[in-house]
Structure 1
Amino acid sequence: MTTTTATRKLTLEEYLVYDDGTDTKYELIDGELVEMPPESDRNNLISLYLLVEFFKFVPIKLIRHKDTEIVVT
């Protein structure tokens, strides 16, 4: 379920400090907060599969699981 929660456009700075007191995850899309749904079980299984496969080729000290984010424009 994706819903818009803000009525006015937010700046990046406002988004980065936004806290509505819940654990709801939001993305900033064209200045509007959009609620993100929780991860599905399928996504979690894919993530675990990739983690196991990476262990075969990448040193463990270089692997991160669900604690890395990429910021894009």
Structure 2
Amino acid sequence: MLGESRWLGHQMRVLMMSGGSDERVLRKLFREGAQGCILKPFHLISRKQVCREIITKMEIEEQVPHYFHVA
């Protein structure tokens, strides 16, 4: 679903949840554009932490064009 969404041109932040820890599957999720992945069962605290990291990274990325100009 993530790959299809990217193929259609949608560029939203994605936090995946998975019941398995197959390393190949997790790498594929990140290659397809997931910003994070939480393995089930997970706790609310871990979910909040990952969301904060994604939001912080997003805020930093949005500020970069304001500080740097490429000529």
TM-score, L = length of structure 1 = 0.27
Greater helix fraction, Structure 1 or Structure 2: 2
TM-score, L = length of structure 2 = 0.27
